[in-house]
Amino acid sequence: MSTVATAKLASLEELEALRSSIRVEQQKTQTTVALCCGTGCQAYGSGRLIEVFAEALAKEGLEDSVRVRATGCHGFCERGPLVVIHPKGTFYQRVGPDDVGEIVAKTVKQGELIERLLYVDPQTKEKAQTEEQVGFYKHQHRLVFGNNGAIDPKSIRDYLAVGGYAGLAKALSELKPDELIEQITESGLRGRGGGGFLTGRKWRSCREAEGEPKYVLCNGDEGDPGAFMDRSIMEGNPHSVLEGMVIGAYAIGSNHGYIYVRAEYPLAVENLGIAIRQAEELGLLGEDILGTGFDFEIRINRGAGAFVCGESTALMASIEGKIGDPRAKYIHTTDVGLFGKPSNLNNVETWANVPLIVNRGAEWFSSMGTEKSKGTKVFSLVGKINNTGLVEVPMGVSLRDIIYKVGGGIPDGRKFKAVQIGGPSGGCIPESLLDTPVDFEQLTELGAMMGSGGLIVMDEDTCVVDIARYFMNFLCEEACGKCTPCREGTKIMLDILGRICQGKGEAEDMDKLEALGEQVQLTSLCGLGTSAANPVLSTLQYFREEYETHVKDKRCPAGVCRQLITFSVTPEACTSCAMCVKACPVEAISGGTRKGKGKDRVRVPALIDQDKCIKCRACHEACKFDAVVIS
């Protein structure tokens, strides 16, 4: 655990003096090995690489001249462990313990490239020597996520070296609270947690609300399947979140803050805890911050994993020790929130944007994006896509550019079918709308939503009816059950979708789904309920023919819904290799062999007994000759 061996800073001048001394000290080390130690790369074993690098550097006598920096997530998660060697920025991917000695001896010591560790573009087949040459990175605009690969999240000194807490110093020394709120308002910053409410307007409402104390809250309860943007910011750059919260607290007039984090994010909790202690030791958090007389404390609350606690009122109830149930917002939480007091809640990414805006100005931030959606957005890009990971792009970029330029397109030459955007409550957007600019209004008009920023890409082998059923099942299980429309409506919709996937759908089911979905949207208590029907309504809107095929023809075009598909063997294509026979777990396949000897030897194609077949797909996956077909 990293600690700070520096006295508490009593003034803005002392902060800048410390920053300068840190930079001078770091410049003495000319070579740095930045090793990704985010959760994704740690799953690949990057934690072990720290020790191996230390041993290899000691062996070459470089332990005093080369620094190994354990950083947060670099974003390109599927290629981990990632290693970037500075100052040249040499980028290596999928690095293992056996590669480390060679990296130190050849690249660190002699400047030579190790070809096998370079990234190869799946489309152009070109090798990239630096991150900037990798398609996944070069089409991004990384602001919030930019320092993740440049700092050790457990070191406040690293954060100070890249300009950390300069925004706080500027806010406390140059701006009055009202001026600060006006700057955030003029920037056009909107909440990145899903609602997209104007941040400056929310701050203003909380500042002007009657009642003390006021609370500043950070929502780190990221519960969307496949989304991990906030986790990676909390893990890789926790001080950016703290700095944003302190600035916001100064503007609002708050002395108390809470960060609500999922308990399933242990590394985020650990790094935030270290960051809070370091900031307190330096006088950047706690009492009399930088000698200005402003006090602000932050506590961490761990969520128990309930998806609904991402909703503002449920989150506040959970912090209070109550069941995380939402309440009707006849009175906004900026007036009556945590413990019945005015409270301002923003998500992790929103807070991390605040220091950037204060440092560079509202005009700089508002120059990016669209008319009503400013700045950049971090997305979690997953699914049937070549480049999975975290991407940060300007608002207004098209979905096509995200999927094909940043994401590298669909693997194995498969055809794109849809992208699900906005988390489980988002909508599925078809290929015909891929040129839509990504902003809050455009996505809402299409029946989707920005949400927290999850992007799940689907190819032609995806059944949209099954996808709608999957997300409805998730939302049904995660609903709190407090209001009737959401509790009963989502369950009935799930039952209908289940029947359709089982081949028991009826012609009127699609009309029932639409009617139910509209009622759930209009009458549910909280945001989870009002958006719960989006996956169903959007797939009905853009893929109605696929629903009709399930209902009328009792067939699943994508070959996903088990009750609606049949596996058979094309005799002409079967080579009698018996791979499908060996793969079948219920011995439903006969033949697949050769009988006789010499000239009399004949091929006996495989045959599937439909009465025994459990439609597990094992035979289809085992066949290398496309002889097992789905109909």
- Determine the topology of domain 26-138 in CATH: Glutaredoxin (3.40.30)
- Which segment, 344-358, 516-530, 567-581, is predicted with the most confidence on average? 344-358
What is the pLDDT confidence band of residue 75, given thresholds at 50, 70 and 90? very high
Task: Let me know the angle formed at the C-alpha of 490 by 220 and 227, rounded to the nearest 5 degrees.
Answer: 25
Closest CA to 9 of 292, 257, 276, 295: 292
User: Mean pLDDT over residues 542-552, rounded?
Assistant: 95
pLDDT at 3 over 50: no
Question: Which pLDDT score is estimated for 1?
Answer: 41
Does 307 score more than 80 pLDDT?
A: yes
- pLDDT confidence bin for 254, thresholds 50/70/90: very high
User: In the predicted model, what is the mean pLDDT of residues 163-186?
Assistant: 96
**Confidence (pLDDT) at 121:** 87
Q: Does domain 376-459 sit in CATH 3.10.20.600? A: yes
- Rounded Cα distance between 362 and 38, Å, is 31
Count of CB atoms within 10 A of residue 64's CB?
A: 10
Q: So what's the pLDDT on residue 600?
A: 66
Enclosing H/E stretch for 380: strand 376-383
Distance CA 230, CA 62 (A): 36
pLDDT tens-place string over residues 417-468: 999 998 888 899 999 999 999 999 988 888 888 887 889 999 999 999 999 9
Look at 225 and 483; give whichever has higher pLDDT. 483
Is residue 631 scored above 50 in pLDDT?
Answer: yes
CA distance 317 to 487: 20
CATH 1.20.1440.230 domain position(s) in the chain? 464-552
How high is the pLDDT of residue 599?
65
pLDDT of residue 113: 96
User: Which position has the higher pLDDT, 631 or 394?
Assistant: 394
Q: Is the pLDDT of residue 216 over 70?
A: yes
Handedness of CA 79, 85, 87, 90 (dihedral sign): negative
Instruction: Count other C-beta atoms under 10 Å from residue 173's C-beta.
Output: 11
Average pLDDT over residues 547-567: 91
Is there a contact between 258 and 136 (Cβ–Cβ < 8 Å)? Answer: no
C-alpha closest to that of 178 among 208, 198, 211? 208
Q: What is the pTM of this model?
A: 0.91
Q: What is the mean pLDDT of residues 268-274?
A: 96
* CATH for 464-552 (1.10.10.10, 1.20.1440.230, 3.40.50.720, 1.25.10.10): 1.20.1440.230
369 pLDDT exceeds 90?
A: yes
pLDDT at 4 over 60: no
Burial class (CB in 10 A: 0-12, 13-18, 19+), 261: buried
CB atoms within 10 A of CB 545: 9
Closest alpha carbon to 257 in 379, 139, 345: 345
pLDDT the model gives residue 7: 79
pLDDT (average), residues 253-259? 97
- Give dist(CA 543, CA 402) in Å, integer: 22
Residue 244 has pLDDT above 50, yes or no: yes
3-state secondary structure 277-339: HHHHHCCCCECCHHHCCCCEEEEEEEECCCHHHHCHHHHHHHHCCCCCCCCCCCCCCCCCCHH
* pLDDT over threshold 80, residue 596: no
Band the pLDDT of 124: cuts 50, 70, 90.
confident
CATH code for the domain defined by 163-366: 3.40.50.11540
Considering the chain, tell me which residue range(s) the CATH 3.40.50.11540 domain(s) occupy. 163-366
Name the pLDDT band for 213 (thresholds 50, 70, 90).
very high
Per-residue pLDDT reduced to its tens digit, 380-431: 999 999 999 999 999 999 999 999 999 999 998 899 999 999 888 889 999 9
Distance CA(176)–CA(162), nearest Å, equals: 25
Calculate the CA 202 to chain-centre distance. Answer: 25
- CATH 3.30.70.20 maps onto the chain at 566-630
Q: How confident is the model at residue 528 (pLDDT cuts 50, 70, 90)?
A: confident
The CATH number of the domain covering residues in 566-630: 3.30.70.20
Q: Does residue 286 have a pLDDT over 90?
A: yes
Q: 529 Cβ partners below 8 Å, 6+ apart? A: 479, 483, 485, 486, 489, 490, 520
pLDDT tier at 306, thresholds 50, 70, 90? confident
- Average pLDDT in the chain: 92
Q: Indicate whether 17 pLDDT > 90.
A: yes
Percent of the chain with pLDDT over 70: 99
- Give CATH 3.10.20.600 domain extents, the chain: 376-459
Give the tens place of pLDDT for each residue, 597-619.
766 678 888 999 999 999 888 99
Query: Residue 305 — pLDDT band, cuts 50, 70, 90?
Result: confident
- Range list for CATH 3.40.30.10 in the chain: 26-138
In whole angstroms, give the CA distance from residue 402 to residue 393. Answer: 8
